[in-house]
Structure formats: structure tokens, C-alpha cells
Amino acid sequence: MSMKSILVPMEPHEGMNAVLETALLLARKHGSYIEGFPLRFGISEFVAVDPAGSIPLESYRQESQEEAAQARRVFDAFMQDHGVPRSAGPGGGLSCGWLDDAPEGESFVGSYGRVFDITVLSRPDANTIGLHNRAIESGLFESGRPILLSPPVPPKDIGTNIMVHWNCSTEQSRATAFAMPLLIQAQRVTVLTVTGGQSVPGPTAQQLLKYLQHNGVPAKAMTVALEGRNTGEAILRAAKAEGCDLLVKGAFTQSRLRQMIFGGTTSHILAKAELPVLMAH
């Protein structure tokens, strides 16, 4: 069990270097193939009439092609600078490739991600456009696979010291199962329970520890209280205190609508995490 194929949607923003660095750290651990493609708005989003008229379709297409070409140049330059060879075929170890004919629109992240072990994206910030946020949701809800969110500053390592936030949920169970290739290789794994935090009825942290130990993961338990913080704050504070370089988190145990209106653990971690976060729904 491993993570042999990694998908990286390429976007024209400053955080792409951190995304590529994070993807490469993961790929080096598993001898993985990394594939990039340009993430672009769908044409329909730009052919809307406004008071000044509509954006000419041909102008948009030209701009979109230029952005795709630039995305490939960034991807190719990064891989060349880091000594990652072009793929010679399946099973070739650490390698990379580019998808030339990727369709426009964020839904492709979720559909194409179904044939990759994981998709790597940057976590959203104050300057993130709607396309990026929708791409994250597409990966979470449509791919059936996990996503890895890179922090603004790339980590020095990944998956050596992992925290698993256990809230008893189906979503967290899936995220933990997807993370098993990393958990098995980790030097340290902590199963975190937040007393008084957001959770659902289900197996206890001790029962999860037993499951992990059956799979050769010598995890330890940790319990923290909210102490006036929300659950997301408590998780990130615990991960920082433990020096973790990866957080494994089920996404949207509460509905997306509820999290948008009232806030929630997933929303807080999406906005504030300073370490890579492996998420699954």
C-alpha cells in the first residue's frame, strides 16, 4: 500500500511553489509519479453580459491558453530544478508528467482525481479566488480520494510525525484509512481527542489505537480540552505543540451549509493550518 500517483492542479498564484514542494516531499517518500495540469475557469463563467458588454470569447480563450502554457513552464522548471525525470511509463519510480488536454473548470479536479492516490492543493487564504475553493470541494466530494493541503510555507519534511484527530466520524475513518501508507512509515503517530469538541457517536480513540496497532502503527493517545477555543483551534495548537508535520482530518462532518453559517472545525483548519493537512470526506 503506497501513494504512487499524485495529482497537482497548477494555478497562477504565489503559493504554487509550496504546493510543488509539498507534493515532491510526498513523492520522494514513495517513489511516486507527479502529474500536473492547468486549473482554469470554465468558459461559461466569462461569457456573461455585464453593463460594459461581454468579454470576447476569443480573447478569453487566448488568455486561458497563455495561462496554461505558463503553468506548464512553472511545473517543468520546478521538476527540472529538483532533478525529477519525465515519466517513462508506469512503475518508473519518482517521475513527473503533464496533461496537455485537461478541460476547463474545477469539476475536473474531482473527476480526474479518481485515478490518483492523492491530489495536492494549497490551503485557501484571504486572496484565494472562488475557482480554487471550488476545486478543493471538488476534490473532497467528487474524487473519492484524499486531498493534501499545503501550508503557505512548505514543510521541511512530511509524514514523520503525524497527528490524527479522532472525532469518531465516518469522514475521519476514511481519512485515516487513506493515510495508512504514511502512518505505517511514520516515526511518531498521535491520536488526538478534543474533550468537549465537535464529534459524533462512534468508536473511541482507544479502539482506533487498537486498529492502528493491528496494522503496525505504534500510535499513542493524546487528549486536550477546549479551554475557551473552538475545536479547530485546539487541534492546530496540539499539532504545533507536538511538532507534527502532517495532520490527518476528516472533512465536513457537519454539513457545508452549517459550517458556512456557524463555522466549524474543517473551515477553521482550511483557513489557518500551518502544516500539511490530509483530508477526506
DSSP state of 50: B
Q: Which domains, ranges and CATH numbers included, belong to the chain? A: 5-150 (3.40.50.620), 161-280 (3.40.50.620)
pTM score over 0.85: yes
Please work out, in degrees rounded to the nearest 5, the angle formed at the alpha carbon of residue 246 by the alpha carbons of 242 and 131.
135
Please work out, in degrees rounded to the nearest 5, the angle formed at the alpha carbon of residue 87 by the alpha carbons of 81 and 93.
90
How far is it, in rounded angstroms, from Cα 154 to Cα 157? 9
Tracing cell 507527479 back to the chain, one arrives at: 34
Per-residue pLDDT of the chain (281 residues; tens, 9 = 90+): 679 999 999 998 888 999 999 999 999 999 999 999 999 887 655 555 454 555 566 676 777 788 899 999 999 999 999 999 998 777 779 999 999 899 999 999 999 999 999 999 999 876 677 889 999 999 999 999 999 999 999 999 999 999 999 999 999 999 999 999 999 999 999 999 999 988 899 999 999 999 999 999 989 999 999 999 999 999 999 999 999 999 999 998 655 444 443 347 888 999 999 999 999 99
Beta carbons of 192 and 268 less than 8 angstroms apart: no
CB half-sphere exposure, 198, CA atoms < 13 A: 25
53 Cβ contact list (under 8 Å, min separation 6):
none
Q: What is the pLDDT of residue 263?
A: 46
Helix axes 231-241, 265-272, angle to 10 degrees: 50
Q: What is the pLDDT of residue 267?
A: 86
Q: What is the pLDDT of residue 2?
A: 79
Beta carbons of 172 and 251 less than 8 angstroms apart: no
